Structure 1
């Protein structure tokens, strides 16, 4: 009963503003005097707090305390006009309206970024805020990982973290925080979040009971200001003059004021000696920060990591981690207005792991959005990863390249990449004279390491560190970049040599395996080398004010040509597609690709491949493996395929995925090719596709090989195959292994091949659920076409077919028969027949 009575009285009093509470105190003083209380009580009433008033009311009115305070308030309302309260409310309303008008548009990072205007509340997406202390290993993983693992780390922190609505909630001890610091890397959305909180309060959506006034202060602006003024001048600067009433009464309840201090890391706190000599804004703000002024007010401080030591006390420390995967999806949906386009963008950027990973940073997301263009619902990327990161750096810090600190930072990044290090100790930073308080891309972090908190420095992410390292490699006249490139390519070539000679090595030089295992794994350099290419683009060099040596460009051309030579590992090709796309220097790429006639790669960005195809002149073989070939990907690839349509002879697509719309685009591409070989293995193709493929190839007068093994074809595709054979009279080889044609499908095919003109020379029918039922049709067809041979392995033929198989082997028309349902005796007969045939052929040759 006592607790509920106390809470009831206190809640009633806490709802009153300072003016109202003062009136209640005076009324309470009159009531207590009438009951004969002493003057000492009067003195207490003049400095009364709400807590003390609650105790007094309960002491003197006991169980009737709530009724008593309610009566007092009603009595005051009858005595006093409400005009002053209405005037106060009107002033606050005007202030909120002024905030909404002033801060509706998101702040530009850099005026050089054209068309960056965004209405903040139309596109705001909650950022993940983590309040738990990082373990060293966990934070290292956050810095190193890319793609899905990185998204999962953010997702875990999102589930354990907080949001802006609960920032000022009481903690587990029942204490409400008064000083909160939210730290985050450059571009992560600190200003974005601070202004959103301000607008949410101004629109009545956030902190309405907690704060009567919320003030936004840009510390970087205050630091550069030379004006003098009091606190109210500082807070209401540039707002409407009609807010004079607010300026006079906003301090009545200091405990209900929230100061949002943005860019705190750029605020320079003056020396104590100057405090009495000036009333400059820096001095005024410093008094609030140091709690010399308005200690009852709440502070929300947005800053880069490592600045909390500059504050007297911090109740809560949070880290803004950026967008979760869902947040990124919502941001794209807001930007492009539809979820369908957002989904297409996410799918598009997922093909580039570095590109995709860095989209946890809101500014990078914005730059990505600005770099994409929709043409007939197809995404065209106007910039590559290096160009977007260069824009990111320039937007964050205009004078980055003019600052000697950035050059020192690049050396630190390079040495970290070489040592596979993402966390730096203070000695590392001092070694290169890097001032972490000045450089925007190096952050101070405190991490738990063996139960103690230790201080480290880090880049926002390994990808950004790799970009700085690449900048050092390109600009270093000492040849560090050239050495790095040589180490990378030599290790790759040496490893490829061992792989190619593994069998011989196992027989004659087993110790070679030990040597092969000692070859350093250079994959950790992939992103750095890719950025070396990207930064070497003349436009990027100019933006970053780098002047590389001529030897660097020669080395890039040398290793690029080597990657496409027949002696090199073809697995390296897709990586160099990306490198040349990052470089984006047409004449350079044309020179590299001049004599290249074959391309092979798996799971690569179609944009990079298209760029390579557009700058090639002799490509006659293209092999793509493990691609997701939807409408978007194939529309991007189409211009490149059109460019090589006159030279391409052999097209291989293996273990890839088509969707319905993508198949239509693919078939339109094939229709305009004059290929000789088309190989489509393991792509889940159906009978309907074969019908469309036959139509697309119907005018091809060069086609020799069609290979459709490992798909989902049944007898339903046979009419289309027959049409293809009739129209493409140059067709010689047809592979249908590992499908579901069955006996009925093969009988239809045999019937068609009985009718001239059948030009087929080889047909593969392995693993097609064939039985003895179709053997007579096969034999009759082969007898009628002496130039035709067939493979029938991995089916269900039995000993019944022995005479037929022996006959075909002797005629040289059956070259595959293994793994059927033959007895051991029949297997031996067929093996002996094969050997006899081989011996006879050798004799004829001799």
Structure 2
């Protein structure tokens, strides 16, 4: 900057050009302006009576150097003297001003040439006012530096358009003035081909002159904002990294630079504003962000929809007729709540009006909508073209789209288009049809869905597909097995285009035939994947099957699955899953979790009064789980889930049920229900819900019930025991770990065990049972006719004092085969009592868990004696216990004894010294029968029985 303009004289000249009223307003605002930058204010008496010269002297004296001019620039805008603000910027040679000027020219051109709103700017601003206002406030002066905000919503909702508008408004000086000196806009997909770069180089791409002043640009990072858009088109994945970059001039691989910026390692004081598309895209990127503020762009309301039509159609009668047609078609009306689809609909209807045709458009699924758009475009533009010309031009465009999808190429030069046979004349044609749009000197498809649709059509031009662009089988595998999410929408369109009605509509309009065998190719591909045992993303499969509208085909595909695991994060997924699960005729095991993708610390700003209420908002519990949606959905869902005649196991771990437990139990009580294993861990099941489960236990064929991680409490157990006492009860497994139980619950369980003859496995681990609880349980266990075979009691606050009653149970009840007491304060003295019981001839125990107990090597002699004297003992866990060499040696002698029958020993060898580890290795090598020594020996088994997903 020119030093002359830091002078008092320069400031006096500008203050002298203010009117009397403007100068007074300038003074009034000056009282608060310093506080925005945490600077001390000038006393009001000095300001109030000061002339222009005196005020300039005060300002320069109180705020030296750059501070006085930053403050003056901000105040000039506030008193509406933008002309002076611009002159100050120009005359100072301000780097920020020069950059603003460059961006103003660029984004004005982008706005006029590429955005193509088809409605006045003022109308657009009114539709986006809530989001616009929120974003203004999110980065206001009083907000701390380093803010990260995320603007998200489905494709076509208007995120890119809004971000471009924000950039243009900042460049014109009407937004965030005084807050950000520099705002950088990155369409991240434009750097797909950049292998290595630096942040300085990325900035210089938009402003070649930046290299000379880059240090100045980044000298105040707290006044810098990065706007990043287009993540769905990246050809590389972003992930949490440790090899991050901290210097803006350091060259690194492009993914490292982007991750460093998102993870706030690079210019941490700068602010970020991201545009993200949907949940699938947000999951990996949200993990990178630090305390992001989220804002949703909602759909058009009915009022905004009416206004849009009135703005798009210049003739009121046309607007009314088009709107009436859309409102008469519920499927089309629901599609038009997204701006991009609304614009496409209006264009189609306008074309039909201009041609004198009746309105015709379909939107029963996304494929039919794009088919309607394409056929309308063809009828308007291609009436004079031969079918061969139509085919050649469209096939070239579809080939380009398919190549782009497989190679993650979304920006095409004129050379790229020519290489695939798209001529300059064709380019003008596709631009006029709103299928292509300019992007600088290159071209992109109007939206990613348009490229995906045309890429899907490519497969229908020939019976056999060119392998260079991937076959249908490869596409199915890439979407379902390889997590190539950018191909997902293309895959959905392929399913949709197999519909006979849709295909015939295309053939009639285009004038040539399309392939009919793609449904068979899909079925063959899925069958092959199942035969190879490939894990598939079932939600993606469900959405594709729904697009076919062919229930027979859907049933044939779903008959391939006897086991399914689903995680549902969105309401749309919930509805799709409900529709598909009722066609799963051979399903035996279902693991399902319904939850939200956002953590409790995240907050989505609710602007629902300005949009649609179709977005599902779960009620989040304290643990972060999300409730099932309310209304009629849950009953339909349970009936769909439980309809399969082969279904035996249902796992809903992590799904918050709230009041829907009763509906679930009512469904389970139906005579045709076949579920035997029900896992409901961490489902927010409360005490009052247990009465419903007691009825299910009494009257149904339920054999396993897992309620782990639910606060049912002692009263809940009492209700469950009412079902256990019923003679019709056939339950053999009950999992109640982490259920907020005390010794009182043990008394209820003991009473039930005295009469129940079906229960063989009981898990009450990680509850505050104490020794009194053990005594209560063992009253029933000591009975010879007690049928319980496995008792899991880890982490129940037991001491050595309870080992006597457990020893009695081990010797009195020959049915007891497993006793897990890990994580309790059972010391050497307690182990001694247990080992004495193991040596009793009536003891039939096969598994004993003592992991994480505070033991020493003094107990190893007792353990060794038990190992050589108990022929039934097969599994022993001493995991997380650090014995010394002498203790290990005593164990090894016993393990090598011919009378030792142990097959599995839980032990963390890493806690032992090197010599001890060698002793164990020798035993394992020579032992006959074989012995397995492993860390966490039955963790996976416990997770499976409890229905807890493994990490």
TM-score by length of 1: 0.51
- The structural deviation recorded for 1:686 is 1.5
639 and 579 in structure 1: CA distance in 2 versus 1, 3 angstrom threshold? same
Aligned to 1:766: 765
Aligned to 1:437: 428
Q: What corresponds to 1:363 in structure 2?
A: 342
Report the CA distance between 1:154 and its aligned residue.
5.9
1:736/1:151 CA distance change after superposition, 3 Å: farther
CA distance in 2, matches of 1:579, 1:647: 24
* Whole-angstrom distance in 2 between the partners of 1:328 and 1:400: 34
SS of the counterpart of 1:436?
helix
Shift of 1:826: 4.3
More displaced, 814-823 or 635-644? 635-644
How far the C-alpha of 1:550 sits from its partner, in A, is 5.0
2:527 pairs, out of 527, 548, 561, with: 561
For residues 501 and 873 of structure 2, the distance between their equivalents in structure 1, rounded to whole angstroms, comes to: 65
Alignment of 1:260-271 (within 5 A): none
**Counterpart position of 1:653:** 652
Which one of the candidate residues 441, 448, 452 is aligned to 1:462?
Answer: 448
- 2:414 pairs, out of 423, 426, 432, with 426
How many angstroms apart in 1 are the aligned matches of 2:19 and 2:558? 82
Question: Which stretch of structure 1 is more off in the superposition, 741-750 or 836-845?
Answer: 836-845
Using a 3 Å threshold, how does the CA distance of structure 1 residues 167 and 640 change in structure 2: closer, same or farther?
Answer: farther
CA distance in 2, matches of 1:335, 1:809: 74
Does the CA contact (< 8 Å) of 1:561 and 1:593 recur in 2? no
Is structure 2 residue 668 aligned with structure 1 residue 670? yes
Indicate conservation of the 8 Å contact 1:147/1:357, yes or no: no
What residue is the counterpart of 1:184 in the other structure? none
CA offsets per residue over residues 308-367 of structure 1, 9 Å max, x none? Answer: xxxxxxxxxxxxx9999765345268679xxxxxxxxxxxxxxxxxx9999352518989
Per-residue deviation, 1:764: 0.6
What CA deviation, in whole Å up to 9, does each residue of 1:512-535 have, x standing for no partner? xxxxxxxx8744433322321122
User: Aligned partners of 2:366 and 2:174: how far apart in 1?
Assistant: 41
Cα distance between partner residues in 1 of 2:762 and 2:543: 39
Q: Does residue 872 of structure 2 align to residue 840 of structure 1? A: yes
Distance in 2 of aligned mates of 1:620 and 1:532: 29
CA distance in 1, matches of 2:376, 2:506: 12
Shift of 1:688: 2.0
Could you tell me whether the CA contact under 8 Å between 1:613 and 1:641 is conserved in 2?
Answer: yes
Alpha-carbon distance, 1:420 to partner: 0.6
SS of residue paired to 2:460? helix
- Cα–Cα, structure 1 residues 3 and 822, in superposed 2: closer, same or farther, change >3 Å? closer
| CA–CA distance in structure 2, aligned partners of residues 720 and 158 of structure 1 | 61
Distance 1:429 1:641 in 2: 48
Name the CA distance, whole Å, in 2 between partners of 1:521 and 1:564.
17
Is 2:679 aligned against 1:687?
Answer: no
Determine which structure has greater relative contact order: mean sequence separation of CA pairs < 8 Å that are 6+ residues apart, divided by chain length. 1
How far does residue 564 in structure 1 lie from its aligned partner after superposition? 4.6
SS at match of 2:787: coil
For residues 719 and 666 of structure 1, the distance between their equivalents in structure 2, rounded to whole angstroms, comes to 21
* 1:597 paired to 2:597: no
Once residues 463 and 681 of structure 1 are traced to their aligned partners in structure 2, the CA distance between those partners, rounded to angstroms, is 39
User: Deviation of residue 717 (structure 1)?
Assistant: 0.6
Does the CA-based 8 Å contact 2:153-2:296 persist in structure 1?
no
CA contact (8 A) 1:364 1:392 kept: no
Q: Any idea what SS the aligned residue of 1:607 has? A: helix
Q: Does residue 580 in structure 1 map to residue 552 in structure 2?
A: no
Give the stretch that moved more between structures: 595-604 or 677-686.
Answer: 595-604
SS at match of 2:127: coil
1:776 Cα offset (Å) = 0.9
Taking the aligned partners of 1:593 and 1:491, their CA distance within structure 2 comes to: 19
Corresponding position of 1:484:
471
For residues 615 and 490 of structure 1, do their structure 2 counterparts lie closer, same or farther at Cα, with a shift above 3 Å needed? Answer: closer
Q: Cα deviation per residue 1:530-573 (whole Å; 9 max; x = unaligned)?
A: 321122121221233274445533221112234455x4234433
CA contact (8 A) 2:367 2:497 kept: yes
Determine which structure has more spread, i.e. the larger CA radius of gyration: 1
Query: 1:803-837: per-residue Cα shift (whole Å, max 9, x none)?
Result: 23344456435432111122356458566388568
Distance 1:764 1:436, change over 3 A: same
Q: Quote the Cα distance in structure 2 between the aligned partners of 1:444 and 1:837.
A: 83
Secondary structure, counterpart of 1:840 in structure 2: coil
Which of 405, 408, 418 aligns to 2:396? It is 408
The answer to whether structure 1 residue 822 and structure 2 residue 808 are counterparts is no
Query: For 1:457, what is the secondary structure of its paired residue?
Result: strand
The verdict on how the C-alpha distance between 1:2 and 1:738 changes in structure 2, with shifts beyond 3 A counting, is closer
CA contact (8 A) 1:474 1:536 kept: no
C-alpha separation in 1, matches of 2:380 and 2:829: 84
Structure 2 CA distance for partners of 1:424 and 1:357, relative to 1, 3 Å: farther
Does structure 2 retain, via aligned residues, the 8 Å contact 1:150–1:357?
no
Alpha-carbon distance in 2 for matches of 1:456, 1:593: 44
Question: Residues 162 and 329 of structure 1: is their aligned pair in 2 closer, same or farther, counting only changes over 3 Å?
Answer: farther
- Secondary structure of 2:471's counterpart equals helix
Q: 1:438 to 1:490 in 2, by over 3 A?
A: closer
Q: TM-score, normalised by structure 2?
A: 0.46
Paired residues of 2:589 and 2:649 also in contact (CA < 8 A): yes
- Pick the aligned partner of 2:127 from 109, 125, 128: 125
Aligned partner of 2:461 in structure 1 is 475
CA contact (8 A) 1:737 1:766 kept: yes
- 8 Å contact kept, 1:125–1:331: no
Matches within 5 A, 1:713-752: 713-727=712-726, 728-752=728-752
Query: Which residue number corresponds to residue 781 of structure 1?
Result: 780
Change (3 A) 1:821 1:612: same
Other-structure match for 1:370: none
State the SS of the aligned residue for 2:456. Answer: helix
SS in 2 for 1:760: coil
| 1:537 partnered with 2:499 | yes
1:109-148 alignment runs, 5 A limit: 125-126=127-128, 147=154
| 1:766 shift after superposition | 0.8
Aligned-pair CA distance for 1:692 = 2.8
Q: Structure 2: which 5+ residue stretches go unaligned?
A: 1-15, 23-117, 134-150, 178-275, 279-293, 307-333, 347-361, 596-625, 836-847, 851-862, 875-898, 903-928, 930-951
Give the whole-Å Cα distance in 2 for the aligned partners of 1:409 and 1:787: 71
Kindly report the root-mean-square deviation, in angstroms, between the aligned alpha carbons of the 2 structures: 4.9
Distance 1:167 1:492 in 2: 43
The alpha carbon displacement at 1:6 in A equals 15
8 Å contact kept, 1:563–1:572: no
Shift, 1:422, TM fit: 0.7
| Distance of 2:520 and 2:802 partners within structure 1 | 65
Deviations for 1:229-281, whole angstroms, at most 9, x for unmatched residues? xxxxxxxxxxxxxxxxxxxxxxxxxxxxxxxxxxxxxxxxxxxxxxxxxxxxx
Q: Distance in 1 between matches of 2:17 and 2:707?
A: 84
Number of residues of Structure 1 aligned to a counterpart in Structure 2: 506
8 Å Cα contact 2:472/2:518 also seen in 1: no
1:328 equivalent to 2:298? Answer: yes
1:443/1:459 contact within 8 Å kept: yes
Deviation, structure 1 residue 774: 0.9
Q: Quick one: distance in 2 between partners of 1:357 and 1:4? A: 51
CA distance in 2, matches of 1:3, 1:490: 69
Return the alpha-carbon distance in structure 2 between the equivalents of residues 611 and 668 of structure 1.
Answer: 20
Q: Matched residue of 2:791: which SS?
A: strand
SS at match of 1:579: helix
Q: Following TM superposition, by how much is the alpha carbon of 1:473 offset from its aligned partner in structure 2, in angstroms?
A: 1.7
Query: What CA distance in whole angstroms lies between the structure 2 residues aligned with 1:599 and 1:153?
Result: 37
Instruction: Give the C-alpha shift of residue 685 in structure 1.
Output: 1.9
